Amino acid sequence: MKAALPYCCLLGILIAAKSGAATPEPAVSATAPAPKPDFVIQSTVRKLVMAVEPAPFPGMMPVEREITITQHLVEDPGLTYPVPPPHVEPSPEAIARMKAMAALRPKHVFVILSATVYDHQRTLLRWFPDGARNHEMVAWSALDFTVLAGMGSFTYGGVDYDLMLGLGLIMNENTEQRQRLAQHRGTIYQPPVCPELPPVGTPVFVVTKGDPADAAALAPITALHEFYKTDSARIIADYEARLQANRDREAYIRAHPPAPKDVTIHFWQRDHPVGMPAETIKKEGGN
């Protein structure tokens, strides 16, 4: 639909009607949603389209279904753009209080750590202590770092660490499978060379690249291993709980495959956004 007015602001509210079983979604906010306006419908257009919901898990088939898309042209309900609060310069006393509170907060360190887990027995760690690509540190750990997946932060020694572990990915590589695959292809698989380490689960690591005496560069890795030493039972329990939650969610979705849903769109036209000065609006078509 082409707008007859020089400026057209289209605002839409998408409302999916119930169609099949709903997939449970975690609560993301305790704030109640804004109430839907009482729309005054001027005209309606409906059309049928085929929609496909991709398979969420391996072994599942995509769900294809004909859905109805309903478009209502409604009278402008007069919704306004949120007005930002006025800027208020903090007083010298407030600045002093903020500085005092900041001084009491623990030191904060952000850690980006690449972890490759081999056979759930050993983990190859890579990190750049100061962010410089020419300052790479490499170490082997006797911990199975898969249990740390999902742990975004920890505190040790009065320091708060934010942990980005392998950009959210931890690769579990089974060396025996790779060896069998290489033999099948007629190639040779060279597994990584791991130094002598104590039994799996022991919070010990060995530096193989970089200065092993650089305490500052090793501080986050040392803190992580010490934290595991003191809280391993809770860390493993949390990991098992996350696995069980994932299994429960997958079981539910396999029993209730998500299907495409009907869609309703309400839209309206106006000369310029309510709450925005007209002189700031660029007219349609430009100069």
Tell me if 178 is assigned to some domain: yes
Give me the mean pLDDT over the 124-136 stretch.
Answer: 88
The whole-chain average pLDDT of the chain stands at 83
Residue 4 within any structural domain of the chain: no
Q: Is residue 240 domain-resident?
A: yes
Asked if pLDDT for residue 47 goes beyond 70, the answer is yes
pLDDT over threshold 90, residue 23: no
The domain in which residue 146 lies consists of 107-249
Residue-wise pLDDT for 56-110, tens only, equals: 999 999 999 999 999 999 999 888 777 778 888 999 999 999 999 888 888 889 9
pLDDT in tens, 146-173: 999 888 899 999 899 999 998 646 566 6
Q: What is the pLDDT averaged over residues 48-59?
A: 95
- Whole-angstrom CA distances from 204 to 142, 159, 201, 207, 219 are 6, 20, 9, 10, 14
Q: Does residue 94 fall inside a structural domain?
A: no
Closest CA to 172 of 238, 122, 137: 122
pLDDT tens sequence across 269-284: 887 666 665 555 555 4
Which residue has 């309606």 as its token pair? 44
Tell me if 124 is assigned to some domain: yes
User: How far apart, in Å, are the Cα atoms of 273 and each of 80, 267, 279, 283?
Assistant: 7, 13, 11, 12
pLDDT in tens, 240-279: 999 999 999 999 999 999 999 999 999 998 876 666 655 5
Q: What is the mean pLDDT of residues 206-231?
A: 95
Whether 194 is in a domain gets the answer yes
Other beta carbons within 10 Å of 131: 9
Answer for the pair 19, 283: CB distance below 8 angstroms, yes or no.
no
**Is residue 36 a part of any domain in this protein?**
no
Domain count of the chain? 1
d(CA 102, CA 170): 34
127 assigned to some structural domain: yes
Task: Count other Cβ atoms within 10 Å, centred on residue 225.
Answer: 19
